[in-house]
Amino acid sequence: MVKPETDNPISTSTEFMNKFITFEGMDGAGKSTHIAWFAETLRQRGLDVVVTREPGGTLLGEQLREILLNRPMNIGTEALLMFAARLEHIEQVIRPGLRAGKWVISDRFSDASFAYQGGGRGLSWEKLSQLEQWVHPDLQPDLTLFFDVPVDIARQRLANNVSLDRFEQEQADFFERVREGYHKRIQQHPQRYAVIDAAQNLEKVKLQLENIISLV
Ligand code: TYD
């Protein structure tokens, strides 16, 4: 949500009806499959929708993604590069999109840094909060769809992939911590999450999404 440039809390300007929606979940949760459908459903309502992703979403961000997903590095470097890519993404894509009245859907955002760099890698929550405060003190998703799935199911799904990136190659205990990281973050900001039971088959997950999309 970008704060309106008016102090009037009851402003009914439709300029800010558009939303910033993020999709989160651990590798293998299946979120990517559903983003295209979600965006298409909003478009069918006549809405202008931008679909983007992190790390990435800009030219520089996609180059950083290539490095982040493939090169070994210090945990701090990993967190800083995630937030560097995010700053570009916010300034070049997310804010301009929202200001132009578009709906912005991002495949991952800062929750992933708390879950992966915080939960998975063990970087302190406080350092991540400082980065978040620096990079987007006044911006949070209006809605985050969290695709929750037990680690063993997520790993079975990943097993079908031909090539796995640096994160996908991690062991089960890493993903248990990632999942805990997401749950911790959800407990801290429960109002903006919709938790989806992604252990179910595609059709049942889609039914859950249909419910959610009818409310946005
Ligand atoms: P992912 O979104 O899963 O893309 P794909 O489905 O195409 O593989 O890949 C991005 C990876 O980056 C994922 O493993 C999570 C990781 N990641 C972080 O560790 N921290 C972050 O802040 C973000 C945005 C992603």
pLDDT, tens digit (0-9, with 9 covering 90-100), for 179-213: 999 999 999 999 999 999 999 999 999 999 999 99
Q: Which residue has the higher pLDDT, 210 or 2?
A: 210
pLDDT, residue 14, reads: 46
Ligand 1 centroid to residue 22 C-alpha, Å:
13
Give the bridge partners for 148, in sequence order.
197
Query: Using CA positions, which residue lies closest to atom 17 of ligand 1?
Result: 112
Residue 15 has pLDDT above 70, yes or no: no
Ligand 1 centroid to residue 27 C-alpha, Å:
7
What stretch of H or E contains 97?
helix 95-99
- With a 6 Å cutoff on the Cβ, whether 83 touches ligand 1 is no
Pocket mutation for ligand 1, best pick of 22, 26, 27 (most atoms within 8 Å of C-beta): 27
103-107 sheet: strands from edge to edge = 49-53, 103-107, 20-25, 143-148, 193-197
Query: Using CA positions, which residue lies closest to atom 19 of ligand 1?
Result: 116
pLDDT, residue 43, reads: 97
Residue 16 has pLDDT above 70, yes or no: no
- With a 6 Å cutoff on the Cβ, whether 167 touches ligand 1 is yes
Residue 52 has pLDDT above 50, yes or no: yes
Q: Which residue has the higher pLDDT, 113 or 9?
A: 113
pLDDT, residue 39, reads: 97
Ligand 1 centroid to residue 100 C-alpha, Å:
27
> Which ligand 1 atom is nearest residue 108's CA?
24
**Per-residue pLDDT band at 1 (split at 50, 70, 90):** low
- Cα 148 versus chain centre, distance: 13
CA dihedral 187, 94, 214, 185 (to 10 degrees): -10
Residue 123 per-residue DSSP state: -
- With a 6 Å cutoff on the Cβ, whether 2 touches ligand 1 is no
- The reply to whether the predicted model has a pTM over 0.75 is yes
- Beta carbons within 8 Å of 203's beta carbon, 6+ residues apart: none
Query: Using CA positions, which residue lies closest to atom 6 of ligand 1?
Result: 32
- With a 6 Å cutoff on the Cβ, whether 116 touches ligand 1 is yes
Give the bridge partners for 53, in sequence order.
107
- With a 6 Å cutoff on the Cβ, whether 147 touches ligand 1 is no
Could you tell me if 111 and 182 are in contact, meaning their C-beta atoms sit under 8 angstroms apart?
yes
- Kindly report which listed range (68-77, 86-95, 139-148, 154-163) carries the lowest average pLDDT score: 154-163
Query: Using CA positions, which residue lies closest to atom 20 of ligand 1?
Result: 113
pLDDT, residue 160, reads: 85
- Cα 191 versus chain centre, distance: 16
- With a 6 Å cutoff on the Cβ, whether 113 touches ligand 1 is yes
